[in-house]
Amino acid sequence: MSVAPPLLAVEGLTKSYGGIHAVRGVSFSLRAGEILALIGPNGAGKSTCFDMLNGQNRPDTGHVRLLGEETTGKKPRDIWRMGVGRTFQITATFATMTVRENVQVALISHGKQLFNLWGSAPNVDRGEAARLLELVGMGGYADRPCGELAYGDLKRLELAVALANEPKLLLMDEPTAGMAPRERVELMRLTAQIAREKSIGVLFTEHDMDVVFEHADRIIVLNRGTLIAEGSPAEVRGNPQVQAIYLGEGLLYDAGHREGASA
């Protein structure tokens, strides 16, 4: 009986900058429909890890496989085409376009219409765009200029955009950073619900431990570039090493929401 490859398999991922190891031999895997949280203190290497997963950054050694297919060395746009959606720590959206147009761009790309010079883009996949916006609770904002949105709304928009290509895997770098507490819970609930319904694997980093412990099926903990713990929320919460790190920094309920640029 052959075992189907996991949705995401990460093996021995290593990256160093000028002799300093940002990420060292990190391995983990992720099943479809599973919600995995990647946590760790500032500078633990979470963002570096993330950037290697979606091709923003190339690992020195190690492999990333998506459903058994190697993605290492591929460009972000190619990895997206393999079914990986991404949201960013600091939102990246198309500021001069409307909310709907933001989603439409992703849909256009998904439909391989990027080099269609004569079609009418405002009419491309309007229904699908509306559905996605509705899904993230942005239905009433479709015609708002993206540049005017509140930060929490931008995060939700990013989620809608990330869902546009019917992804198998969502990579969410601090999906709730900068949002009000109530909004955080809502967004993560929504994400979890979508993920379970569509059997999408979700990997996210987060500083808000409430969010992490409430929504993650499993948690992996990074410290100084190495994986130090892995397990269910309860297991991780009970892990003395993890407690030491967080208590040492006094950050178990971290209010800060931005990592240093070197992370």
Partner 1 sequence: MAFYVVQFLTGLASAASLFLVASGLSIIFGVTRIVNFAHGAFYMIGAYIAFTLTERFSGAFGFWGGVVVAALAVALIGVLVEMVLLRRIYHAPELFQLLGTFGLTLMVEDLVVLIWGPDDLVGRRAPGFKGAVDFFGQNIPSYDLFLIALGPIVLGILWLLFQRTRWGVLVRAATQDRDMVAALGVNQKWLFTSVFAVGVFLAALGGALQIPRDAVHHAMDLRIIVEVFVVVVIGGLGSIVGAFVAAVLVSELNAFGILIFPKISIILVFLVMAVVLIVRPWGLFGKPEAAARKTPGLTVNPWRPLTSNERLAALAALVVAAILPLFAGNYALTVGSEIAIFVIFAVSLHFLMSVGGLASFGHAAYFGLGAYGVAFLAKMAGLPMIVCLLLGPLLGCMGAAVFGFFAVQLSGVYFAMLTLAFAQIVWSIAFQWVSVTGGDNGILGVWPASWAASPSHFYWLALGVAALVTIALRVMVFSPFGYALRATRDSLLRSEAVGINAKRIQWTAFVIAGTTAGIGGALFAYLKGSVFPDNLGISLSVDALVMVLLGGVETVSGGVIGAIVYKALNIWLVSQTDLSKLVLGGFIVLIVVVFPKGIVGMLEVLAQRRRKSSPPGSSLLAKPIESAE
Nearer to partner 1, 144 or 198 (CB): 144
Does 73 bind partner 1 (CB under 8 A)? Our answer is no
Does 68 bind partner 1 (CB under 8 A)? Our answer is no
Q: How far apart are CA 225 and CA 44, in angstroms?
A: 5
Does 5 bind partner 1 (CB under 8 A)? Our answer is no
Q: Which of 147, 198, 220 is nearest to 190 (CA)?
A: 198
| Of positions 122, 232, 234, 258, contacts partner 1 by CB under 8 A | 122
Nearer to partner 1, 32 or 124 (CB): 124
Question: Rounded to the nearest whole angstrom, what is the least distance from the CB of residue 257 to partner 1 in the complex?
Answer: 18
Q: Which of 83, 27, 34, 55 is nearest to 217 (CA)?
A: 34
Question: Mask of contacts with partner 1, 136-155, x by CB under 8 A?
Answer: ----xx-xxxxxx-------
Does 77 bind partner 1 (CB under 8 A)? Our answer is yes
| Of positions 117, 240, 248, 255, contacts partner 1 by CB under 8 A | 117
Amino acid, single-letter form, for residue 171: L
What 3 state SS string does 54-81 have? CCCCCCCEEEEEECCEECCCCCHHHHHH
Does 18 bind partner 1 (CB under 8 A)? Our answer is no
Pair 191, 202: CB distance under 8 Å: yes
Does 75 bind partner 1 (CB under 8 A)? Our answer is yes
- Binding segment for partner 1 (CB under 8 A), chosen from 22-30, 114-122, 183-191, 220-228, is 114-122
- Scanning the chain, the segments in alpha helix (DSSP H) are 46-53, 76-81, 99-110, 126-135, 151-162, 181-198, 209-215, 233-238, 240-249
| Of positions 116, 232, 241, 243, contacts partner 1 by CB under 8 A | 116
Burial of 70 (0-12, 13-18, 19+ CB in 10 A): exposed
| Of positions 1, 2, 4, 96, contacts partner 1 by CB under 8 A | 96
| Of positions 2, 114, 255, 260, contacts partner 1 by CB under 8 A | 114
Question: Rounded to the nearest whole angstrom, what is the least distance from the CB of residue 39 to partner 1 in the complex?
Answer: 23
Does 110 bind partner 1 (CB under 8 A)? Our answer is yes
Amino acid, single-letter form, for residue 43: G
101-138 burial by CB neighbour count: b if 16+ within 10 A, else e? bbbbbbbbebeeeeeeeeeeeeebbeeebeebbebbeb
Binding positions for partner 1, rule: CB under 8 A? 54, 75-78, 80-81, 86, 88, 92-98, 101, 104-106, 108-110, 113-124, 140-141, 143-148, 161, 164-165
